[in-house]
Amino acid sequence: MPEPSDGSLLRRFRVGEQDAATRLYLRYAQRLHGLARKQSGQDLQTRLDPEDIVQSVFRTFFRRAKEGHYEVPDGEELWKLFLVIGLHKIRDAAVYHRAARRDVSRTTGMADGGTSGHDRASTNAEAEATLRMVIDDILLQLSASQRDIVVRRLQGSQVSEIADETKRSRRTVERTLQKFRDLLRTQIGAEAMEEESL
């Protein structure tokens, strides 16, 4: 018997087949473990357990999959999605652990106790990187035509231009962009709640 595709396992998981969840875990857990070990860096290896990252990735994935957030086109794998979620988890863990070790003189200003320009820039860069990861995660949930519309909008195209270039009605373009905005709000809210529960 050929191995079932990721899409098949995802559909089986959604109808309650726990064996499908186990097979997805076994298919990707080792790769995620290697990713976490490789990306954690020397300074975090004693504080960051790769297995914790793997478990956190699968908790997030299975929760969202059960809610119907992910689709896998025929012939595609879930690895890209696991990679995005994994990198996001590793980044969050690294920020948390490094903040706990940060010297007070590096995080306070000289006189007023404010945050230094370097730390503000670092925080902004981290926030931007997180937003990019969340957007990448959402784009994986959309169809190819929907992704095309959203990417064009993110690149600065107007709705009328997107409608002309993609041969879609303005209404279709607006509905797609609204769906993206709704998913973005939902996912940012889910990430915030998850971080609060840590």
Domain co-membership, 1 together with 57: yes
Q: pLDDT tens digits for 104-162? A: 334 444 444 444 555 555 545 555 666 777 787 788 788 888 988 998 888 888 999 99
Domain co-membership, 5 together with 59: yes
d(CA 55, CA 84): 15
How many structural domains compose the chain? 2
pLDDT reported for residue 109: 45
d(CA 151, CA 132): 12
Q: pTM for the whole thing?
A: 0.52
Q: How many CB atoms lie within 10 A of CB 21?
A: 19
Number of H helices, E strands in the chain: 9, 0
Domain of 195 in residue numbering reads as 142-198
Q: DSSP string covering 18-72, please?
A: HHHHHHHHHHHHHHHHHHHHHHS-GGGTTT--HHHHHHHHHHHHHHHHHTT----
User: Looking at the domain assignment, is residue 127 inside a domain?
Assistant: no
Domain co-membership, 12 together with 79: yes
How far apart, in Å, are the Cα atoms of 75 and each of 22, 142, 143?
Answer: 20, 16, 14
d(CA 117, CA 121): 6
Per the CB < 8 A criterion, the answer to whether 150 and 176 are in contact is yes
pLDDT along the chain (198 residues), means of 10: 86 92 94 84 66 89 88 83 86 66 42 50 56 76 88 88 93 92 75 45
d(CA 142, CA 55): 25
Domain co-membership, 13 together with 65: yes
Domain co-membership, 79 together with 158: no
Specify the CATH number for the domain of residue 2: 1.10.1740.10
User: Which amino acid would we find at residue 123?
Assistant: T
**Which two three-digit tokens encode residue 148?**
């095309």
